[in-house]
Amino acid sequence: MSFTVLIPARLASTRLPNKPLADIGGVPMVVRVAQRAMQSAASRTVVATDSTEIIDKCRAFGILVVLTRANHPSGSDRLAEACSLLGLADDDIVVNVQGDEPLIDPTLINAVAQLLSERPDCAMSTAAHPIEQLADFLNPNVVKVVLDARHTALYFSRAPIPAARDYAGKAWWKNSQEDGELPKPLRHVGIYAYRVGFLRLFPSLPPAPLEQLESLEQLRALWHGHRIAVHITDDAPGAGVDTPEDLERTRKLFS
């Protein structure tokens, strides 16, 4: 199996200005992400950016980088352009790792790429892990996913799904049944593998009503009939960096 890791990076962050260049132990965050991704089995790891400053920082640390247009409406458009710049074929697989995930587990990158290579019926793959706490299950900022028997996504939602009728407002998965434990709900992890042909198609698909309601872009794929395979990992991934508090917590881990 061969695949490429693509890391989109822009400086336009409102909560944490110039986030990709935030210093973490003397190394820009986007470089930390790339260094982690390079520990995976990817044939190459490439940062895709519209910033010459990010390009300069990446090259200073020996990170491959491509310059994309600045007017892309979404990260998917930026990734699609990067695929063209790199000369990738439609059947090739790319894994999208976010530029604010300096603690990304390289084995998780491998897992989503491997899963997509084994599922020719799917255009994408992603990951999820079991939810333990009721507060996370009820939290709309925690995206949930429900699967079919083959671990293909049926739906993603900010709502608490699946809704257990007889255990409303309770951690129903902690209640035993005669035939064993109830399955735990699943938290979606924001890492995606794509077939390049689908990634080129995706930005042209009309936004889906459910996507707009939930503010979840992956619902566009399901709405238009494309399937998403889901890898289930036992552990929650390392925390991303969205706020100054997240950044300080991450800096302490690297120090």
**Which pLDDT belongs to residue 226?**
97
State yes or no: cis peptide before 162, omega within 30 of 0.
Answer: yes
Which tokens go with 89?
A: 């074929």
| Residue-wise DSSP of 86-125 | TT--TT-EEEE--TT-TT--HHHHHHHHHHHHH-TT-SEE
**Which pLDDT belongs to residue 142?**
92
**Which pLDDT belongs to residue 16?**
75
**Which pLDDT belongs to residue 60?**
96
Cα 61 from Cα 66, distance rounded (Å): 14
Residue-wise pLDDT tens digits, 115-134: 999 999 999 999 999 999 99
**Which pLDDT belongs to residue 13?**
65
By CB atoms closer than 10 A (0-12, 13-18, 19+), residue 65 is buried
Strands 176-177 and 23-24: unpaired
**232 close to 186: Cβ distance less than 8 angstroms:** yes
**The tokens 């709309």 sit on which residue?**
140
**The tokens 């960096």 sit on which residue?**
241
Q: What residues contact residue 63 under an 8 Å CB cut-off, 6+ apart?
A: 30, 31, 34, 35, 45, 47
Spell out the alpha helix ranges (H) of 19-105: 29-37, 52-60, 75-85
- Give CA separation, 120 vs 93, 114, 116, 228, in Å: 11, 11, 7, 11
Task: Give me the residues of the chain with pLDDT under 50, please.
Answer: 179
Strands 23-24 and 27-28: antiparallel
**22 close to 247: Cβ distance less than 8 angstroms:** yes
